[in-house]
Structure 1
Amino acid sequence: MEKLISKFKGIHPGIILERELKKKGLKKGPFALSLNEYPQTLNDITKGKRGITIALSIKLDQCLGLEEGTMFLLQAYYEIQKEKDKISLSNKPDLSIIRRILFWDTDFDNINWQKQYQAVVKRVMERGNDDEKNEIIRFYGKQKINEVKNLDNAFKRTIT
């Protein structure tokens, strides 16, 4: 089981379920009904739209001849991977969209996207293209963008 788990870590268990059903020549609808589950539920799982519960995992493991807990462990590893992806995305914007040349006077790889947000927002909003502006808005949110604009406007009023 460990070999199977490590091979499929982070993959939605529905993909593995679909593969197992094909390998055994089972159709999703009748298989779902044999488990006392709705065919739509199984279909959603195989398409990655829904997760596997503990109760369904037990049924699937028994019917497919897998070690108990296999499908649920795959679900858990998938959820862990999803959370890791979310965390890594939340630390910085999509850097494939932001041109490095915008920050010609800064070491781009050492920008602290959280602490230096005011400078980043100003720079991108002044000099960035539409894709870069949209990425910065997505990353920081409209509220934070407006906060920077309001601070900038207040500063401009004080010096004029």
Structure 2
Amino acid sequence: MNKFIEKYKGIHPGFILEREFRKRMIRQRPFALSINEHPQTLNAITKGKRNLNTSIALKIEHELDMEEGTLALLQTYYDIDKEKKARNLRIPNLSILRKSLFWDTDISKIDWDKQYKAVIQRTFERGNEEEKNEIRRFYGSKKVDIVLHSTTRKPYTVSHI
């Protein structure tokens, strides 16, 4: 992978572009006009308030003699990073779940999407009704039922000999 892309992966391409303008001592307004774009559009991009579309990215790359696709790839990686952060914000209401329910791990580091089976099983084995209801609300009844029905050991079962 291009070292430039690897270095700036996850950063809005507008910020990199603004840095590039400063480094090359290019003024934004004349540059925007030279590529037939509105100066306001370019300003919004360099401030990170607007995404960089492929059409503008290609114009900028051509004008700055950059490798084709560099800025478009940076925009894609930025979008991926933004989506990952949004997914990580998707967590159950931790004020309802007791930390002692997950005594063997740091509750703030649980990946609620990847570790859903363990979370559901643990909650339904050791949780109270309020905690079970929160997990059912968070994951949905269908997903919870599928996990519970696929569990080999049912919660609180004692085998009789």
TM-score with structure 1 setting the length: 0.62
Matching residue within 98, 101, 104 for 1:106? 101
Offset, 1:71 = 0.6
Partner of 2:51: 51
1:94 and 1:23 mapped to 2: Cα distance? 46
- After superposition, the C-alpha distances for 1:1-35 in whole angstroms (9 at most, x for unaligned) are 70000000000000000011111111111111111
SS in 1 for 2:101: coil
The 5-angstrom pairing of residues 1-160 of structure 1 reads 2-90=2-90, 92=91, 103=98, 105-107=100-102, 109=105, 119-120=130-131
Offset, 1:89 = 1.3
- After superposition, the C-alpha distances for 1:121-148 in whole angstroms (9 at most, x for unaligned) are 999xxxxxxxxxxxxxxxx7xxxxxxxx
Partner of 1:151: none
- Unaligned 5+ residue runs, structure 2? 124-128, 139-161
SS in 2 for 1:29: helix
Give, as a single letter, the amino acid of the residue that structure 2 aligns with 1:46. T
Distance 1:121 1:24, change over 3 A: farther
Q: Structure 1 or 2: larger helix share?
A: 1
Offset, 1:104 = 5.5
Of 2-11 and 107-116, the range deviating more from structure 2: 107-116
SS in 2 for 1:106: helix
TM-score with structure 2 setting the length: 0.62
Q: 1:20, 1:64 within 8 Å by CA — same for their partners in 2?
A: no
- Unaligned 5+ residue runs, structure 1? 124-139, 141-160
SS in 2 for 1:37: coil
1:121 and 1:80 mapped to 2: Cα distance? 32
1:84 and 1:68 mapped to 2: Cα distance? 26
Q: What count of residue pairs does the alignment treat as equivalent? A: 119
